């Protein structure tokens, strides 16, 4: 993927909304590319979180294995979505599995490299951290809605 394509994609990713072209170019320079076939494991629950991912094409399934039941899909993410971003906020392990839902191509961004950039570029850090708060807040609301629906439906 060319740098211009990376910059265009990153500019559409909620985590990087509002960043100027120069900041997007610096982030694009940190990106690696990875390709996965359908059902390939990208990471597993409990793995160390050392990078975040942006879906350049295809889709990714986020889920957890439930003993006796198999995989429970929590979300299916499409092109332009970011995942694994919680690893930026601490050294906790992965909270779920990520598998290719179909063939997919991902940009991967090493946490240490991104944190170095954010440390040096305070205005970029400000935007990224606010975007992170918005993204995680939206995901928490969605999870709360799902839990409320499960609780309500289990009463019948």
Give the residue extent of every domain in the chain: 3-153
For residue 96 the two structure tokens come to 């779920």
CB 5 within 8 A of CB 58: no
Give the torsion sign (CA, 10, 11, 13, 18).
Answer: positive
pLDDT, tens only, 81-121? 999 998 888 778 999 999 999 999 999 999 999 999 999 99
pLDDT in tens, 119-153: 999 999 999 999 999 988 988 898 788 778 777 66
Q: Which helix (H) or strand (E) holds 53?
A: strand 51-57
pLDDT (0 to 100) of residue 156: 57
Distance CA 16, CA 112 (A): 17
In the three-class reduction of DSSP (H, G, I as helix; E, B as strand; rest coil), residue 57 is classed as: strand
Q: State pTM to two decimals.
A: 0.88
- pLDDT tens for residues 53-74? 999 999 999 999 888 887 788 8
Provide the β-strand partners of residue 75: 62
- Classified as helix, coil or strand, 54 is strand
Phi, psi of 18 (to 5 degrees): 85, -5
Q: What is the largest CA-CA distance in the chain?
A: 55
3-153 CATH choice from 1.10.3210.10, 3.40.50.20, 3.40.50.2300, 2.60.120.10: 2.60.120.10
């Amino acid at each position: 993927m060319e740098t211009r394509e990376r910059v265009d994609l990153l500019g559409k990713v909620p985590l990087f909304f509002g960043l100027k072209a120069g900041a997007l170019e610096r982030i694009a320079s940190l990106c690696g590319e990875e390709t996965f076939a359908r059902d390939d494991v990208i990471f597993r629950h409990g793995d160390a979180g050392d990078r975040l991912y942006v879906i350049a094409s295809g889709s990714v399934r986020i889920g957890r294995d439930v003993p006796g039941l198999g995989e429970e899909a929590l979300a299916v993410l499409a092109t332009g979505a970011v995942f694994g971003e919680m690893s930026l906020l601490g050294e906790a392990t992965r909270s779920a599995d990520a598998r290719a839902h179909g063939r997919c191509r991902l940009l991967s961004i090493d946490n240490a490299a991104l944190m170095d950039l954010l440390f040096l570029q305070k205005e970029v850090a400000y935007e990224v951290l606010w975007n992170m708060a918005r993204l995680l807040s939206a995901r928490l609301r969605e999870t709360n809605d799902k839990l409320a629906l499960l609780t309500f439906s289990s009463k019948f």
